Amino acid sequence: MRVQLLSEAQGEGFVPPSSGDFELPPIFGENALTTKPIFLLFLSVILISAFFILASRKAAVVPSKLQFAGESVYGFVRNGLARDVIGHEFLRFVPYLFTLFTFILVNNVFGIVPLLQFPTMSRISFPYILALSVYLVFHYVGIRKQGAFKYFKEIMFMPGVPKAAYILITPLEILTFFVVRPLTLALRLFANMFAGHLLLLVFILGGEHLLQGVIGLKLISPFAFGIGIVLTFFEFMVQCLQAYIFTLLAALYIAGALADEH
């Protein structure tokens, strides 16, 4: 009986969403360079450039709505992130942090934009490259500011610790600074986008599948769609938050590399 039920359930043919749903075929041609995430990436660059060019072109003392919107985003990154975290040298990092923030934000929000509906950052290569750029920037900044020897010495040997303790904690400092930090930076962004997209797929594809079932199931499907809609708003929050956290941590790492004592 149980086996029969199982086979009937399988006969219904609901295919649960899986990681396979993230491996999209090329839109044209036979190579991996024409997949949807790549196009979304280019689209995001075009959208961001167009938005900020338009917003800043006719800059006036009394700003238009567009200029106001553009300046709010810029001001948020400049004052809320760069200045508060990095301190007096913040100005030269604003372009980098601003690019990071808007780029990640737009690519994340693509996850809930109708028709696009795919967060680019749910493919892990993109967060890896972004984290790599942060990694190079903050180590470069630290080495330039303090000199390579002093920089590495301060990472490895914290002052005011008994000598014997260095055996225990120096490997941890090295691992944290050179492996764990960039890796968690990339994985946090990736995993949030991946899980969020999967969650939406479960409820919306599930709702659609219930709609094709018997009448009892049809009545349940609006709840699945309802939860799907609620989760879409939740996802929007997560997408903004992850863009913010990525940029914030990048700023914190830069600030840490600039500071004399870590």
Partner 1 sequence: MPKSEENAMWSIFGYLLSGLLFWGGFGYGLDKWLDKNYFTLIGLLVGISGAIYLVWLRFGRE
Which positions lie near partner 1, rule CB under 8 A?
84-85, 158, 160-161, 165, 168-169, 171-173, 175-176, 179-181, 184, 245, 248-249, 252, 262
Nearer residue to partner 1 within complex by CB, 145 or 188: 188
C-beta of 239: minimal distance to partner 1 in Å? Answer: 18
- Please report, as a single letter, which amino acid is at residue 236: F
Nearer residue to partner 1 within complex by CB, 52 or 253: 253
Q: What is the dihedral of CA 211, 213, 216, 221, to 10 degrees?
A: -20
Q: How would you class 43 by CB atoms within 10 Å of its CB: exposed for 0-12, middle for 13-18, buried for 19 or more?
A: middle
- Please report, as a single letter, which amino acid is at residue 2: R
C-beta of 145: minimal distance to partner 1 in Å? Answer: 19
C-beta of 83: minimal distance to partner 1 in Å? Answer: 11
Quickly tell me which residue has 């990071």 as its tokens.
100
Nearer residue to partner 1 within complex by CB, 210 or 251: 251
CB 100 within 8 A of CB 224: no
C-beta of 236: minimal distance to partner 1 in Å? Answer: 19
Which DSSP category does 195 fall into? H
Nearer residue to partner 1 within complex by CB, 70 or 182: 182
